[in-house]
Every structure is written in structure tokens, then in C-alpha cells.
Amino acid sequence: MNARIITRARYATFTLAALLLLGASSAFGQETQSEIDDNVFNDALPVFTRHLKSEPAARQYLTEMRGMADASPFYFVVFVDTAHRLIVAGLQPSVVLQSYVPCGEATATLRGDDADFKSLVLLIGNLRLDKYQVSTVMDIIEAKYIPSYQLLSEAIGKSAYETKRIVRSGRAKSDGTANALLYMFNRKYGGAMRDLMIERARKGRATN
């Protein structure tokens, strides 16, 4: 089957915070991933209607986000939860969407899971919001085995040593750094999500 089947109990475990945040109700049983995503969409709609001041705009926004989730190895609810958090924090909804594909590609190349994807999206979002110093975010990403300084150095045409000096001195701008990293995630890791989905599908068929 193409649809990912998971139990509602397992789903509730890792999405509990998001479901409570969005006011979703819980009924145990087995559902297809599509049915679960339908529920997430409907529960999120009034929340994003408030964010975007319009139900049609919210519906379009969630539909676009769901399309990104369907083309990724990560759950739709993670997209919804991170978007809600970052919009509440002050990031423009359109800017939030820009992070999903690049962060998904970077996470997938490391064979990361939903928690890794969520962490990276929130890091980039909070970097844009100046909630963290550029050096702090760069170091965290580097610790996840993504060579952030090397990627940034390629983006700005400097050596890794010079790039690190610029970052450490506080001269690197947060929004510019975020844009450069997202660009490099796409450039270096584009296609990783597709490959991970194919790999998981093959493993799923092998175990059936």
C-alpha cells in the first residue's frame, strides 16, 4: 500500500503537543495517513484562519503545506506545528514555507526523523527572528553533522576559516545567513527526500 498506516496511539505519542495546541480530538483506532492528515488539516484550519485573517487563505496555505509534506518523508502535523510556532513568534507565513523543502533535503540526507526536521526548521526560523546568535545556530547545525561553515563559505565565496571569523565576530547577518544556508541545502542535498522515500518504500515491501 502507498498510504502509510500507523496506529492512532503511535500518532498521538509524537504529535501530542501539536494536537493539544490545535485543539484536536483523539479517538483511538487505525487510520490511513491520509485520514489522519485530513483531521490535522481540519483542526488546523481555524487556527490558521486567525493567523491569515481569511479562511480561503488559510485553506490555500494548508493545502500548499500538505503538498510539501506529501512529497517528503515527514509528517504533515510537523509542518503544521512548526508553522504555527513560527508565525506566533512573528515570522511571516510565506517565509515559513521557504524553509520546508531545503530543511527536508538536509534532514533526509542524514536519514533524520521528524524530530530532526522540526528542530532544523525551527532553528532557521528563529535565526531569521534574531532569537539566536548566528554563531549559535551555525554551531548547532554543525553538530548535527551538516557542515554549516563549509556550506556558508561556498555560498559567500570565502574560505571556511574566513567564514568562521565573520560569524564569530558578529558580522554575519541572520536573515542573509538563513537564506544562504537554505540555498546550499537545496544545492547540495536536493533529491535526498525522494531517495529516502524510495528507500523506505523498498524496505516496506521487503518486510511485507
For 130-159, what is the mean pLDDT?
Answer: 94
pLDDT at 2 exceeding the cut of 60:
no
Query: What are 100-123's pLDDT values in tens digits?
Result: 999 999 999 999 999 999 999 999
CB 51 within 8 A of CB 62: no
Mean pLDDT of 19-25: 46
Q: Place 29 in a pLDDT band, splitting at 50, 70 and 90.
A: low
C-alpha closest to that of 174 among 208, 117, 129 = 129
pLDDT in tens, 152-163: 999 999 998 999
Grid-cell match 554551531, residue found? 139
CA torsion sign for 47, 61, 116, 132 is negative
Give the pLDDT score at 30.
67
* Grid cell digits, residue 148: 554549516
Phi and psi at 32, nearest 5°, equal: -75, 160
Give residue 65's pLDDT band: very low, low, confident or very high (50, 70, 90): very high
